[in-house]
Structure formats: C-alpha cells, structure tokens
Amino acid sequence: MSATLTGITVIDLSRALAGPHAAMMLADQGARVIKVETPGTGDDSRSWGPPFVTPEGGGEPESTYFQSCNRGKESITLDLKSDSGRDTLASLIERADVLVENFRAGVLDRLGFDTDRMFALNPGLVVLSITGFGHDGPEGGRAGYDQIAQGEAGLMSLTGPSPDDPQRVGVPIGDLLAGIYGAFGVAGALRERERTGRGQVVRTSLLASIVGAHAFQGTAYTVAGEVGRARGNHHPAIAPYGLFRCADGAVQIAVGSQAQWRALCGITGRDPDEPGLATNSERVANRERTIESLESAFAAWNREDLLRELATAGIPAGRVRGIDEVYEWSQTHSQGLLVDVEHPTLGTTSLPGPPLRFFAPDGSETTHREFTAPPLLDENGPEIRKWLAGEDTAPGE
C-alpha cells in the first residue's frame, strides 16, 4: 500500500536520538530516508550499550539503541570535512525534499551548508533543525543532552517521589518529543510547499519540546502562579488518581468524575459523602487520607480480583507491566506495535512498531506495513552514489 510520504526523499544528517527519531517517523510513512554517517564510526548510538547483539557465527556486535531509531533507512558514509564528501552532500540536497540535522548551532554553516547555500541548491527543501536549547537567545549555542534538558526544562522537578528526590523519566523523553514535534513540523512545511513551491526551515529543541509538554503544570504557574512539584505516583489535581497497594501488589486507578468516585465507594464500602472526601477538591487537599482510606480497603483484595471488580464498575484501572510483559501482550500485537524485519547480519529481528494506523472511509486499513531493518554502516553507499550519478533509480521511481 502506498504511504502518505511515498515519493519524499529525506537526508538524515542527525545523530543519537532526536533527529533520527524524526527521520524514522518520516520513513514509517513511506519516505526514502538516506542516513549520512561518519566513516569508520557512524552514528554515535552505534556504540551505545550494552546491550549489544552479536550475529550468529560471529561478526560485529549491533547496538540495540541504534536499532530503536533507524528502521527504514539507508546508510551512506561521507567525510563532510573533505571536498568529495561535501560535493556528495550537495548532490543529495539537490535531489532531496527534506534535510534533518541536529548539529550544534553554526556547525553546518562551517561545513559550507548554511541556509542560503542549501536553498540555493534546492529552493523547495524543508530543513528540520533540532538543538538542545534553541538556535538563538542567551544560551542558544549550548549543547543539549536529554537528561540535562529534562532538568533544565523543569521535568525532573515534577518527577519522582518528592521534591527532594528529582528523577528523570525512564526514556529520553526530551529527545523523543523533539523528534515527534519535528516530524509534525516537517509534515506542515511539506503541505505549505505544495501551495507556495518554497521550502522553509523548521526549528525545535529539547527545551521547547519539554516545555511544550508541560500541559496543566505549565498553566498552573502561568495562570495561577502555582509551582508544580513531584508527587510520586499520584496526580496533583485529581484524586484518587495514581498507584495503590493491594494484597499482592498494586493497581493504578484514575477516578475522573463524581460518578466514578461513587462507584469506587460502592466497591470499598466507603461513604461517598464522607466529610473531607466528598469532592475532588477535598480529596486533593486530603490526599494522604484518601490514599490511606483506599489502601486500607484494598488490603483484602488480590490484584486480579480487584481489577476485575473495578472494570465491572466502569472505573479506569490497570496494572504496572514490565517491558517484557508489554511486548508479550496480545493488545500490543493487535495494534501493530511489534514488527519483524530482516537484518543483514542478525537475521529476522523484532522491533517496536510505529504508533500510527490509517484507515480508508470504508474502514479498510491502509497503514504502511513495509519496514526494513536499520542499516549497516555504509550499507547502501554504492547504490546511492549510482543513483546520484544517474546510473540507477531511487526506490519507487
């Protein structure tokens, strides 16, 4: 099936995660993504691990980190400090629709590819540029890594058991959000190009992506002047909403309405109109009392029976799954969130799949399901050079 970005060519100059994730999202929608890597070493994430996986019979170990953000791409190595490398990049830019980069501000300029040069080569080019803290401003040139950005952008102050123990999110969420916002920006810029014929630069940063996801924590401060703080596994504005212990583990409950609160009280034998707990505002103000009251009742329940009872009562609830349990879960498989690819050295491997699905008006699924494994370093270099020289055609041409 044809995908939404079939016929679009993307040059991925980025490394590590934010840019590669954005480029992979474009590949998932059918774009041809050519990953430009440093000769000899390639993308930094090729060396990030453990875990690494070694092919049967021996060979170079492959980083599972690299596998996470580079499916569906081709790889070519270019020394961008050499004339030949820069010439090849110029040829790629002339043929491309999108260029993705996450160099520190000014690096691409020094390599001879400032904005003016790129648009001279290709006026319709869409450039996605991702930095740590923004391209300008008093700290615009600052290097950005995810954990640093999580701290600087306030996310760690909201995460963890208490304000005295800030915690990072368990995945590089700033990088991932920057990639997601970046891919969204590229889609918008490509749509605008259809109207005007002109390309443009799309900029985002780890700082911007995290601030963009502050949601109610942001408006609590900007509108009401209240500074959010870490509250562990319980929601700052809704109660009960969080993780609660029961006889053999824990369950998560999200009570978002008074009707759900009354249903929960019916299960636990509590008075829904008990003074101090009758309304959401009261329960938030008396959070510890709310938690203690429910956990006292849940102490007599095992997890599976409690979850079944909560489901019957229409109360949103769930368990805390390990990563292994998630990928073994039938619901995960039903949503296409695990895909098999043929890796050049590892053979058939499974990767986390794309989170989007597409359907025609008649209900038939049109989701693009043709995926290739992350490439070996320079795996596609010879074919790409032939294509640039006019000796071969690009996929789909």
> Which SS3 state, helix, strand or coil, does residue 340 take?
strand
Pick from 237, 240, 203: which is nearest to 219 by CA?
A: 237
180 with 212: CB under 8 angstroms? no
Cα–Cα distance for residue pair 268/296, rounded to 1 Å: 9
Q: Is the dihedral of CA 238, 240, 241, 242 positive or negative?
A: positive
* Cross-strand bridge partners of residue 338: 352
Displacement of CA 10 from its chain's centroid (Å): 19
Amino acid of residue 139: E
90 with 52: CB under 8 angstroms? no
Helix count and strand count (H, E) for the chain = 16, 13
Instruction: Kindly provide the residue ranges of all beta strands, DSSP E only, lying in 173-323, ordered along the sequence.
Output: 200-205, 241-246, 249-254, 317-318
Q: Omega into 240 within 30° of 0, i.e. cis?
A: yes
- Would you state the structure tokens that stand for residue 20, as one six-digit string? 């590669």
> Which SS3 state, helix, strand or coil, does residue 359 take?
strand
C-alpha distances in Å from residue 167, one per residue of 5, 19, 158, 361: 38, 24, 8, 44
**Residue 294's CB: how many other CB atoms inside 10 A?**
25
Cα–Cα distance for residue pair 273/364, rounded to 1 Å: 48
Pick from 285, 304, 306: which is nearest to 295 by CA?
A: 306
Dihedrals φ, ψ of 202, to 5°?
Answer: -110, 125
71 with 27: CB under 8 angstroms? yes
**Residue 66's CB: how many other CB atoms inside 10 A?**
23
Point out the residues that are catalytic.
175
Residues 6 or more apart whose CB falls under 8 angstroms from that of 322 comprise none
